[in-house]
């Protein structure tokens, strides 16, 4: 028997393996693909798993009964949804007809050119019953604030419509005191009501996104910022360090143990079991936990207000809207746009609210008949009126948030001083932005 | 294959030669056919991603080849050295702990447990942690260490050992210790199983002879058993070191790398580079460096092992 050489063996194996692994692709290429149709039998939505998409799942059957189109909702955890969408968009995949997007993701998707414009392609126009900022947050390049260098001069288009009208607000125990008007009042109340097993303030201090979201309203209200209007990093300015010192030193004295590991669910739990006096809050936490009589011991005892004023004289809430957009790769763009329009109709939004949804229509937010079931609606309406800040509109936001949120976490844990933490974050972010061709 | 060749009678004419070739051709085809699924799978899930990673490591986001620039950026990033430091500390805690505990269990069972049924039960118990998904281990560990509702603090306080909550995940040294204990719990049984199997290969006559000569428990271990276990120690060290470089799930769930970057191990750092910073070039460069490092380690270990070589 003739032996074959190792080289020959490797060569033959490689050829055979390549043929074997290429087979499915060749077969797929030989198959017939279905062309785009006007009315698909189903639309696939990539959604975030949690209280954000739960109401969407509840109203989807109604859409099917009215149109015959099944809404298939594919859920991912927060981080994985972003990663999945980025990789899908990079491949121009057609897996999803619609996608849920957290508003800070818009710069990344806008810069990538990953979405279909809703205004020019599908005739979306602004509705006066919906706050202007809601349309602005779905517009790319951003209508105000600094614009990434690569995006200057591009035509603005609407790429996303909010379906979860999240704005970060403030909650406190109204059965114990009046509403705090400023962060000084917050600190005073924290000291006054702090007791054994009852925390004067809850810090959502878990690393990266959680502590970043928790601290930005304080940073802004104190006159600090991450960037100025020219993308210059501001985290190591006196105002920013003052804000971080306030949260991680002054308020921390009255905060729950383990604040550096506390996330939104832990915070809501502490409020719901009556072990905390006050904190920042997202609307989803209110309906899901704090005001849910099946899990809360404080239903009716908590009030919701816009973010209190800081040293800048302003109280700046933070946008956390979840938008619906149509990926460029979707072959059912028109049908997907019809679904978004259906969601925006007043009657359908009322039904969405009845199923736990967070609305964006002013007429619904200010409807007194809905306030009893949704005690945060007036505060949310006020927050929209005050025009909340959005996170910096840069495609580098995820990286910026990771640096900032890691340093903030170290400061909350007491591992670094506020000044050292902000200097570290500022240094990392400057390098990052410089590498991304920003004038930082 | 060589034995097969030797058994085939020498060809005596043209027809037998052709028949031999045909038979050899059939055998080769069969061999390739049997190998095909395994090789195809390896090609798809290992070779292709590796080639892509190497390409990414030498190219920019738009696909332009940029030489070793990504490697330069990866190696000059100060965050890399924070991650390496954290990984080093983690390895210094878990590797000695797992090896010593695993060895102690193996010796204990080998010398004291004689009943086959009990040995089998211990074997099954040792396998259990190894088959639990690391994500599930992380979730359970969070229930143990979490502030506010963690079981460990509850037990310590109930027993009167502590009077206030210990921040297992909030204080840097405790956070590192907490994530390390999870690893130790899950992987000590692996060391135990390997070393216990090694102890079974020690010839009984040698041990009995030593005992007759008055060898103590310790000298018996040092002069006889350790000799047989030595190659296994190297093997364990290699596998566990490679595992430490890819530890992710339970650390991500327990601390997310915090507080600060205290528990941001190398794998977590690479994940962040790829999926938070979307710096595929730097992440790929680092992945290639890690792969090469593990390969070098593997080469060193295999050279040190007294393996029979063909």
CB contact under 8 A, B148 and A257: yes
List the single range of A241-250, A370-379, A403-412, B10-19 with lowest mean pLDDT.
B10-19
Q: What are the backbone angles phi and psi of residue A277, rounded to the nearest 5°?
A: -95, -40
Q: According to the model, what pLDDT value does residue A308 have?
A: 97
Q: How far is CA A81 from CA A75, A77, B198, in A?
A: 8, 6, 46
Is-contact A233 A227, C-beta < 8 A? Answer: yes
The continuous run of DSSP H or E covering B187 comes out as: helix B172-200
Paired strand residues for A74: A46
Using omega within 30 degrees of 0 as the cis cutoff, is the peptide bond preceding A141 cis? yes
**Contact between chains at A399 and B21 (C-beta distance less than 8 A):** no
pLDDT for the residue B302: 82
Q: For A115, list phi and psi in degrees, rounded to 5.
A: -120, 160
Residue of chain A with shortest Cα separation from B271: A83
CA torsion A160-A164-A170-A171 (nearest 10°) is 180
Contact list in A for residue B24 (CB cut-off 8 A) is 1-2
Q: Which of A82, A206, A415 sits opposite B260 (nearest CB)?
A: A415
pLDDT at res. A44: 97
Question: Using a CB-CB distance cutoff of 8 angstroms, which residues of chain A are in contact with residue B256?
Answer: 206-208
Interface test with A, best of B74, B135, B256 (most A CBs within 10 A): B256
Q: Do A1 and B79 touch (CB under 8 A)?
A: no
Question: B43 and A17 in contact by Cβ < 8 A?
Answer: yes
Per-residue pLDDT of chain B (310 residues; tens, 9 = 90+): 444 444 555 555 667 777 788 888 888 899 999 999 999 999 999 899 999 999 999 999 888 999 999 999 999 999 999 999 999 999 999 999 999 999 999 999 999 998 999 999 999 999 999 999 999 999 999 999 998 889 999 999 999 999 988 999 999 999 999 999 999 999 999 999 999 999 999 998 998 999 899 989 899 999 999 999 999 999 999 999 999 998 999 999 999 998 999 999 999 999 999 988 889 999 999 999 999 998 998 888 888 876 654 4
Two tokens, residue A207:
């690393």
Query: Do A402 and B272 count as a contact with CB atoms less than 8 A apart?
Result: yes
Give the pLDDT confidence score for residue B35 in this predicted structure: 94
Q: Which residues on A lie below 8 Å from B279 (Cβ)?
A: 399
Q: Closest Cα of chain B to A223: distance in Å?
A: 25
Beta bridge partner(s), residue A98: A45
| Three-state secondary structure string covering chain A | CCCCCHHHHHHHHHHHHHHHHHHHHHHHHHCCCCCCCCCCCEEEEEEECCCCCHHHHHHHHHHHHHHCCEEEEEEECHHHHHHHHHHHHHCCCCCCCEEEEEHHHHHHHHHHCCECCHHHHHCCCCCCCCCHHHHHHCEECCCCCCCCHHHCCCCCEECEEEEECCECEEEEECCCCCCCCEHHHHHHHHHHHCECCEECECCCCCCCHHHHHHHHHHHHHCCCCCECCCCCECCCCHHHHHHHHHHHHHHHHHECCCHHHCCHHHHHHHHHCCCECEEEECHHHHHHHHCCCCCCCCCCCEEEECCCECCCCCCCCEECCEEEECECCCCCHHHHHHHHHHHHCHHHHHHHHHCCCCCCCHHHHCCHHHHCCCCCHHHHHHHHHCCCECCCCCCCHHHHHHHHHHHHHHHHCCCCCHHHHHHHHHHHHHHHHHHCCCCC
Question: How near does any CA of chain B get to the CA of A257, in Å?
Answer: 7
Contact B147 A262 (CB under 8 A): yes
Rounded Cα–Cα distance for residues B238 and B223 (Å) = 24
- Domain ranges in chain A are 42-164+319-385, 169-318+391-435
Mean pLDDT of A281-304: 94
Interface-testing mutation among A21, A199, A207, A258, with chain B (most B C-beta atoms within 10 A): A258
3-state secondary structure of B75: helix
The more confident residue out of A13 and A344 is A344
CATH number, domain A169-318+391-435, options 2.60.40.10, 3.40.190.10, 3.30.1370.60, 3.90.1150.10: 3.40.190.10
* B42 neighbourhood in chain A, CB within 8 Å: 17
With 70 as the cut, is the pLDDT of residue A244 above it? yes
pLDDT of residue A23: 46
Yes or no: say if A109 and A143 are a contact pair by the CB < 8 Å rule: no
Domain with CATH 1.10.3720.10 in chain B: 79-304
Cα separation, B225 vs B200, whole angstroms: 10
Per DSSP, B9 falls in state P
pLDDT at B10: 53
User: Cβ distance B89 to B177 under 8 Å?
Assistant: no
Q: B165 to chain A: which residues are within 8 Å by CB? A: 257-258
Q: Binning pLDDT at 50, 70 and 90, where does residue A18 land?
A: very low
Task: Please name the residue of chain A whose CA is at the shortest distance from the CA of residue B18.
Answer: A1
Q: How far apart are CA A327 and CA A324, in angstroms?
A: 10
B-side interface with A, Cβ within 8 Å? 1, 4-5, 8, 20-21, 23-24, 27-28, 32, 35-36, 39-40, 42-44, 73, 79, 146-148, 164-165, 167, 169-172, 255-262, 264, 272, 275-279
Q: How far apart are CA B136 and CA A38, in angstroms?
A: 45
A363-374 tens-digit pLDDT: 999 999 999 999
Most B-contacting residue of A17, A114, A416 (CB-CB within 10 A), to test interface: A17
- State whether the Cα torsion A16-A22-A27-A29 is positive or negative: negative
Q: ipTM of this predicted complex?
A: 0.76
Of A143, A105, A151, A158, which is closest to residue A391 (Cα–Cα)? A105
Do the chains contact at A79 and B275, CB–CB below 8 Å?
A: yes
Q: A407 and B4 in contact by Cβ < 8 A?
A: no
| Residue A326, CA distances (Å) to A59, A101, A229, A323 in order | 19, 10, 30, 10
How distant is the Cα of B286 from the closest Cα of chain A, in angstroms?
Answer: 18
Pick the CATH number of A42-164+319-385 from 3.30.420.10, 2.30.110.10, 3.40.190.10, 1.10.3720.10: 3.40.190.10
* DSSP-derived pairing of the beta strands A70-76 and A139-140: unpaired
Query: Bridge-partner residues for A170, per DSSP?
Result: A280, A305
Q: What is the mean pLDDT of residues A418-434?
A: 96
Structural tokens at position A335: 């049908």
Chain A contacts of B164, Cβ < 8 Å? 257
Chain A CB contacts of B278 below 8 Å: 86, 108, 398-399
Q: How large is the average pLDDT for residues A73-85?
A: 92
The answer to whether domain A42-164+319-385 and domain A169-318+391-435 are alike in fold is yes
- Residue A195's DSSP bridge partners are A198
How distant is the Cα of B279 from the closest Cα of chain A, in angstroms?
9
What is the CATH T-level fold of the domain B79-304, as seen in this structure? Answer: MetI-like fold (1.10.3720)
Residue-wise pLDDT for A105-132, tens only, equals: 999 999 999 999 999 999 999 999 999 9
Interface test with A, best of B144, B249, B278 (most A CBs within 10 A): B278
DSSP state of B245: T
A–B CB contacts, 8 A cutoff, strictly below: 122
Q: Is the pLDDT of residue A357 over 50?
A: yes
């Amino acid at each position: 028997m003739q032996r074959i050489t190792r080289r020959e063996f490797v060569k033959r194996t490689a050829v055979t393996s390549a043929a074997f692994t290429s087979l499915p692709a060749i077969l797929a290429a030989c198959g017939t693909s279905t062309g785009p149709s006007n009315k698909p039998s189903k639309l696939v939505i990539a959604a975030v798993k949690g209280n954000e998409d739960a109401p969407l799942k509840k109203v989807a059957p109604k859409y099917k009964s009215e149109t015959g189109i099944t809404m298939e909702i594919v859920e991912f955890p927060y981080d994985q949804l972003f990663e999945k969408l980025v990789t899908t968009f990079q491949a121009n995949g057609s897996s999803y007809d619609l996608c849920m997007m957290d508003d800070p993701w818009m710069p990344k998707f806008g810069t990538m050119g990953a979405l279909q414009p809703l205004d020019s392609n599908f005739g979306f126009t602004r509705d006066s019953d919906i706050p202007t900022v809601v349309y602005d947050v779905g517009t790319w390049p951003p209508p105000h604030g600094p614009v990434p260098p690569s995006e200057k001069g591009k035509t603005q288009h609407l790429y996303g419509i909010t379906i979860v009208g999240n704005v970060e607000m403030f909650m406190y125990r109204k059965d114990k005191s009046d509403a705090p008007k400023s962060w000084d009042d917050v600190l005073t109340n924290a000291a006054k009501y702090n007791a054994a097993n009852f925390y004067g303030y809850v810090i959502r201090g878990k690393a990266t996104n959680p502590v970043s979201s928790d601290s930005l309203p304080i940073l802004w209200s104190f006159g600090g910022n991450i960037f100025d209007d020219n993308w210059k990093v501001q985290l190591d300015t006196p105002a920013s360090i003052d804000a971080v010192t306030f949260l991680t030193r002054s308020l921390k004295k009255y905060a729950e143990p383990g604040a550096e590991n506390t996330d939104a669910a832990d915070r809501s739990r502490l409020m719901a079991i009556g072990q905390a006096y006050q904190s920042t809050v997202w609307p989803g936490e209110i309906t899901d936990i704090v005001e849910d009589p099946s899990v809360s011991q404080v239903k009716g005892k908590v009030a919701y207000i816009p973010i209190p004023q800081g040293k800048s004289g302003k109280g700046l809430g933070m946008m956390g809207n979840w938008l619906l957009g149509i990926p460029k790769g979707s072959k059912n763009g028109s049908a997907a746009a019809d679904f978004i329009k259906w969601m925006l109709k007043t009657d359908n939004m009322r039904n969405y609210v009845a199923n736990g949804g967070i609305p964006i229509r002013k007429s619904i937010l200010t409807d007194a008949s809905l306030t009893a079931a949704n005690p945060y609606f007036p505060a949310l309406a006020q927050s929209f009126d005050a025009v909340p800040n959005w996170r910096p509109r840069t495609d580098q936001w995820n990286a910026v948030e990771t640096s900032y949120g890691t340093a903030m976490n170290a400061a909350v844990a007491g591992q670094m001083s506020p000044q050292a933490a902000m200097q570290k974050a500022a240094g990392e972010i400057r390098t990052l932005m410089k590498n991304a061709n920003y004038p930082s | 294959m060589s034995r097969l060749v030797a058994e085939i009678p020498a060809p005596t004419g043209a027809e037998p030669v052709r028949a031999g070739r045909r038979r050899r051709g059939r055998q080769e085809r069969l061999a390739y056919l049997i190998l095909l699924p395994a090789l195809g799978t390896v090609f798809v899930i290992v070779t292709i991603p590796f080639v892509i990673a190497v390409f990414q490591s030498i190219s920019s986001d738009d696909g332009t080849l940029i030489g070793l620039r990504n490697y330069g950026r990866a190696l000059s990033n100060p965050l890399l050295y924070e991650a390496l430091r954290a990984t080093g500390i983690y390895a210094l805690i878990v590797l000695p702990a797992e090896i010593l505990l695993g060895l102690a269990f193996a010796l204990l069972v080998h010398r004291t447990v004689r009943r086959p049924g009990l040995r089998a039960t211990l074997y099954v118990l040792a396998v259990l942690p190894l088959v639990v998904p690391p994500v599930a281990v992380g979730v359970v560990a969070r229930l143990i260490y979490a502030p506010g509702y963690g079981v460990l603090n509850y037990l310590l306080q109930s027993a009167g050992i502590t009077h206030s909550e210990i921040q297992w995940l909030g204080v840097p040294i405790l956070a590192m210790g907490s994530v390390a204990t999870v690893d130790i719990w899950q992987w000590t049984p692996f060391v135990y199983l390997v070393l216990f199997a090694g102890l079974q290969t020690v010839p009984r006559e040698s041990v009995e002879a030593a005992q007759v000569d008055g060898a103590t428990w310790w000298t018996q271990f040092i002069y006889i058993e350790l000799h047989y276990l030595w190659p296994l120690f190297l093997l364990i060290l290699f596998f566990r070191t490679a595992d430490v470089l890819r530890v992710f799930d339970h650390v991500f769930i327990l601390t997310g790398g915090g507080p600060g970057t205290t528990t941001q191990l190398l794998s977590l750092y690479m994940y962040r580079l790829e999926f938070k910073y979307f710096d595929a070039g730097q992440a790929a460069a680092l992945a290639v460096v890690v792969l090469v490092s593990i390969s070098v380690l593997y080469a060193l270990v295999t050279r040190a092992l007294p393996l029979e070589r063909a």
